[in-house]
A and B are shown apart, each in its own frame.
Chain A
Amino acid sequence: MITKSMTTLLALAASAGVALAKDVKIGFVTTLTTPAGVIGKDMQDAVNLAVEHIGGKMGDLDVKILFEDDGFKPETGKQVTDKLVKQDDVDFVTGYIWSHVLLASRKSVIDAGKFLISSNAGPSPIAGKLCHENFFSTSWQNDQTPMAMGEVLNQQGVKSIYVMAPNYAAGKNMVAGVERTFKGDIKGKDFTKWGKDAQLDFSAELAKAKASGAEGIFVFYPGKAGGAFIKQYQQAGLQSVMPLYSVFTVDSISLPKFQAASMEGVLGSRMTQFWAPDLDTPQNKKFVSAFKAKYGKYPSFYAAQSYDTIFLIKSAVEAVNGDLSDMDGMRAAMKSANFPSVRGKFTYGNNHMPIQNFYLREVVKDGDGNWTTKIVSTVYENHQDSYAGECPLK
């Protein structure tokens, strides 16, 4: 009898210990294996830098980050998400590079009553019908960046384009985005196989693009497919006849590799984005210079969004003085977007997607001869995604 009550007491003490634990647990789901793991690494670096910059504290609470690998697969992403919310009982689940992984994992987090913050993926359903009060984004809705590119094409008087993208949720969104704003003619369209065994040889598609006679080519190929595409685009001699307009294809992860392989053709190529390493905000200057000092390379936009994620969570935790049970308080704090963002001040729409600027960027050499991107002009000011209207939230 005595032993039994002792055990109960001990168990009580143990559970009380957990409840009193002074830390914020953040689950970060990204891709750490497969060649796309290099993106996950960049995000991980940025998160670690952010935690360092806030001294490992949010208010009085210690910050604990649990990184998980989705293996570039929706089913694995969902499994690790389940583990984070059920076994580790984290307070926030963030990360998510891929739209299909985010869509597969969304329900686990929402049903568990936790906050879900996307540090990259922005598939249309989550901005529209599937929007939720506990979901936030520090990136963009997939369609927005290509919509800005469509505007750029109009401004430059491009009459016709050929379109190529991978065959998955984000690929469809990107194409829908450019089609929504581009006023010219779309001469042809190819969706290619995506995932762990993605198609990387685009010989057939490039031959079709060339034969189509379009004035330009629009592509969305994140990760290593982007490098493969650009090389083959040059080898096929399309550079001179069909200028490249891309989104999320040329970034700080691929540029050093292009530079090492002397792929000069990529210099001067243009893309749209909500952010650039040279964006002139105090938080961005601090982030970019610290990232370069610590890791010896430019941060990618994936890194920038991940860095913002930590500061967004910090603003929420501090607004409720560390009372992590106050979901309403934290939600209201995040909704106000009252944190120093690398992109400068922005606001959240009713669907908790950022309403922000989009810029045209160009690949240039920096002062040290390294290849990077710089802002050419602002395409959209305070742009809201097109799905916000479908979201029932106010």
Chain B
Amino acid sequence: MDLTLVVIQCLNGMQLGILLFLLASGLTLTFGIMDFVNLAHGSLYMVGAFLCATLTFWTGSFIWGVLLALPLTALAGIAVEFIVVRHLYSRDHLDHVLATFGLILCIDTMTHLIWGAEGIAVPLPAFLNGQVELFAGIIFPSFRLLIIGAGLIVAGGLYYLVNHTRLGMLIRAGASNRTMVSALGVDIQTLFTLVFALGAVLAGLAGMLIAPITEASIGMGNEIIITAFVVIIVGGIGSMKGAFIAAMLIGLIDTLGRSYIDDLFKLAMSTEAAETAAPAVSAMLIYILMAVVLTFRPQGLFPPKVR
């Protein structure tokens, strides 16, 4: 086995993990703190990508596209919270699922009407479109490196926000016991709106970062949101630390599975059988992980304390 390749695949896994973390952190905030199941979280990821794509063409620069799209995505998040989500907090989970599923269909159709069916390829500035040599022989696309960097900065910022600020204290308190927080005189409604907008921005950022790699396309969020749910279930619902570690774990397992499982299978079966079985099994790996975690630790790997 080639060591350089292993390192590159680990970096690829980390990059996928970072994207999953950006999505899952918002999901775990809304689910853990507001007790709200938001299937439409992926739609905000898509909206972020489309806004960024349009603004990139409009301003002529991807960086400006992202910077301008972030507050717009926050506004979109606030609008969604205000129009739909806020009326559902007191309902049970099934209502959440039904309503947010309907929201997915609405947002998908709206996107179709505004931007058309074909999707948008987002151009990158030249300095992000190349590769960098990290150290001897390890050449990695610079944009993927930027994703890892940006994600780590965001993760650090979130860590600071959640553990060292007043807002973070309220978020943590809300995750532990919502009723008590509101009984202590905290305006829980505003807190929820803020948390929802924060989740929207994080999801939108993930969408903006993936758009130059794949493209902004309708339904892109619905594909990745399932994996984000797996992340928060494995990590422990409501836990930021759990979301980070589980996202990294799942990113690495998925990427390394895709890289090495066919070679592994070829040791045990015919080449043809291995080629057919490998993609199926590697797509399953993360669900197998989830099943194992649910069996031995149903509360997830790092559940928030005092639940």
Binding site for B on A (CB under 8 A): 33-35, 37-38, 41, 167, 189-193, 196-198, 200-201, 203-205, 207-208, 211, 224, 227-228, 231-232, 234-237, 253, 257-258, 260-263
Contact = CB atoms under 8 A, between A and B. Distances in A.
A198 B214 CA distance: 12
B286 to A, nearest CB: 12
Contacts of B210: 201
Interface string B1-42: 010110011001101100000000000000000000000000
Contact of A237 (B116, B130, B218, B259): B130
Interface string B219-252: 1101100100000000000000000000000000
Closest 6 A/B residue pairs (Cβ): A203-B12, A261-B121, A228-B214, A261-B123, A200-B214, A38-B118
Contacts, number: 119
Contact of A208 (B5, B121, B122): B5
A261 B215 CA distance: 11
B279 interface: yes
A263 B121 contact: yes
Nearest to B139: A237
Contacts of A200: 213-214, 223
B12 A35 contact: no
B217 A207 contact: no
Given A190-B258, A190-B279, A227-B121, 5 more contacts: A167-B276, A191-B276, A227-B119, A235-B129, A260-B123
Interface in B141-171: 141, 143-144
Contacts of B119: 35, 38, 224, 227, 257
Nearest to B255: A204
Contacts of B13: 204
Contact of B15 (A34, A41, A203, A231): A203
B280 interface: yes
B215 A191 contact: no
B275 A203 contact: no
A234 B126 CA distance: 12
B217 A224 contact: yes
Interface in B109-146: 116-124, 129-131, 139, 141, 143-144
B258 A204 contact: yes
5 contacts: A33-B117, A35-B219, A203-B15, A207-B9, A263-B123
Contacts of A232: 141, 213
A201 B129 contact: no
Interface residues of B, number: 49
Contacts of A193: 279, 283
A231 B213 contact: yes
Contact of A192 (B2, B218, B256, B279): B279
A263 B5 CA distance: 27
A236 B141 contact: yes
A372 B110 CA distance: 31
Nearest to B217: A35
Contacts of B141: 232, 235-237
Nearest to A256: B118
Interface in B48-83: 57
B304 interface: no
**Residue among A203, A224, A234, A260 with most chain B CB within 10 A:** A203
Given A193-B283, A235-B213, A204 B12 contact: yes
A125 B212 CA distance: 38
Contacts of A263: 121, 123
A34 B57 CA distance: 23
Contacts of B123: 260-263
B223 A197 contact: yes
Contacts of B124: 235
Contacts of A203: 12, 15-16, 144, 255
A26 to B, nearest CB: 23
Contacts of A234: 129
A191 B213 contact: no
Contacts of A190: 258, 262, 279
A35 B16 CA distance: 22
B131 A237 contact: yes
Max count, chain B CB within 10 A of own CB: residue among A167, A207, A260: A207
Given A204-B259, A228-B215, A197 B121 contact: no
A234 B213 CA distance: 10
B118 A257 contact: yes
Given A200-B214, A201-B214, A235-B213, A207 B121 contact: no
B97 to A, nearest CB: 18
Contacts of A236: 131, 141
Interface in B178-231: 210, 212-215, 217-220, 222-223, 226
A253 B118 CA distance: 8
Contacts of A253: 118
A235 B218 CA distance: 23
Given A231-B213, A237-B131, A257-B119, A207 B5 contact: yes
B259 A257 contact: no
A257 B215 CA distance: 10
A259 to B, nearest CB: 9
A231 B212 CA distance: 8
Contacts of A205: 258-259
Given A35-B119, A38-B119, A261-B123, A208 B213 contact: no
A109 to B, nearest CB: 27
B218 A34 contact: yes
B199 to A, nearest CB: 22
A165 to B, nearest CB: 10
A70 B73 CA distance: 32
Given A189-B275, A203-B144, A262-B123, A224 B15 contact: no
B275 A191 contact: yes
Given A35-B219, A235-B144, A237-B130, A208 B259 contact: yes
A227 B9 contact: no
A101 B5 CA distance: 37
